[in-house]
A and B are shown apart, each in its own frame.
Chain A
Amino acid sequence: DAGVIQSPRHEVTEMGQEVTLRCKPISGHNSLFWYRQTMMRGLELLIYFNNNVPIDDSGMPEDRFSAKMPNASFSTLKIQPSEPRDSAVYFCASTTLGGSSGNTIYFGEGSWLTVV
């Protein structure tokens, strides 16, 4: 399995521009998570989906952030307009529901965003 695939790996953009981060979860997984990591705040959960439906978006910092999951194999995290304080590594992760033991969450390699 290819694992969780994220794109782009690195992006540098100017303040005010729209940023779209993409994620392909592991095939068969039906829960997807978006995290943000910074030195100051560590790993923060932004939003997670079950069966393509957003379940908890309480971590989304403000209206500039939005996330969609149009189908089981694709999700986007959009920032519009972007600001320098949005600079961070954004991780996508996925897991599968059910099973007899805990559900292991697998992470992508992250999208490194720099807003100048």
Chain B
Amino acid sequence: DAKTTQPPSMDCAEGRAANLPCNHSTISGNEYVYWYRQIHSQGPQYIIHGLKNNETNEMASLIITEDRKSSTLILPHATLRDTAVYYCIVRGRAGNNRKLIWGLGTSLAVNP
């Protein structure tokens, strides 16, 4: 599985958009980009995933560059409850590549 690189920490003002970057320059054609977050003392929570196209759901938007070597998770209106560690992971669908390889993530602090 390809590795990812994320900034260790970021700050965001409440109500503003939080843009979390992720580099995955060694991603292969059949690997998806997944985003999870982990709020303190809880299990990791799925946010969104994508392959090539940009994706949006009720939680966030995922923007994947055309060359697929990087992506950005966007929380459009961050709230204090969005304070968490955000993990970007690339993962294949087939064969034994179903496991997730976790990096250290980005610790997002949403400030009032």
Contacts and interface: CB of A to CB of B under 8 A. Distances in A.
B98 A48 contact: yes
Contact of A43 (B32, B34, B44, B93): B44
Nearest to B105: A42
Chain A interface residue bracket vs B: 20 to 34
A105 B101 CA distance: 12
A106 interface: yes
A104 to B, nearest CB: 5
A42 B104 contact: yes
Contacts of A31: 98
3 A-B pairs closest in CB distance:
A107-B43, A102-B32, A43-B102
Given A42-B104, A91-B44, A109-B42, A101 B96 contact: no
Interface majority SS (helix, strand, loop, mixed), chain A: strand
Given A56-B99, A102-B51, A107 B45 contact: yes
Interface in B46-88: 46, 49, 51, 87
21 contacts: A42-B102, A42-B103, A45-B99, A45-B100, A48-B98, A56-B96, A56-B99, A91-B43, A91-B44, A93-B43, A93-B44, A95-B98, A101-B32, A101-B93, A102-B34, A102-B49, A102-B93, A104-B46, A107-B45, A109-B43, A110-B42
